[in-house]
Amino acid sequence: MTESREPTPASVWRNPIHFLAFGFGSGALPKAPGTWGSLVALPFVLLWQQLPPGGYALVLVLSSLLGIWLCHRTAADLGVHDHGGIVWDEFVGVWITLWLAPPGWLWLVVGFLLFRLFDIWKPWPIGWADRHVSGGLGIMLDDILAGIMALLVLLALAELPGLL
């Protein structure tokens, strides 16, 4: 669980690791940084969707591994468990959610909303991971799980005839 919102450290604008962990600065916004980070991640989906599914999957694996390191390093540098402005985990969660999404803006919006729902609600196993796994892996894991759950719901919705 993220701690209460601390002020944005100046290092976000000077340190490229912190800048990435803060979602290119989107996590520095004072209200709903996770939502803003998720929104800033959406244009990248349009790039990733140009790749074959295996290429997109490789992006997910590499960005997850990078995120574990980025988030751990930034949290350690800031001396906190999980600063509320660290939103690289939201980037990866949204990217996972939309990995196999049908084309179109409506699916981007539905995927975004599903991811935010699971990320905020934190049903099992998301909430368990959020409470019991620490470090960079802990910061990333709950959003990876939220992304997987949102992806499964999105794919199920896509299979319902005439729904969207």
Asked whether the beta carbons of 148 and 96 are under 8 A apart, the reply is yes
What beta strand segments (E) does the chain contain? none
Tens digits of residue pLDDT in 76-132: 999 998 899 999 999 999 999 999 999 999 999 999 999 999 999 999 999 999 999
Q: Helix (H) and strand (E) counts for the chain?
A: 7, 0
> Tokens in use for 148?
């997987």
pLDDT value at residue 164:
64
Distance CA 9, CA 159 (A): 45
Domain spans of the chain, in order of start:
11-159
pLDDT at 5 over 70: no
Other C-beta atoms closer than 10 Å to the C-beta of 66 total 16
pLDDT value at residue 1:
42
pLDDT at 3 over 80: no
pLDDT at 8 over 70: yes
Residue type, 157: L
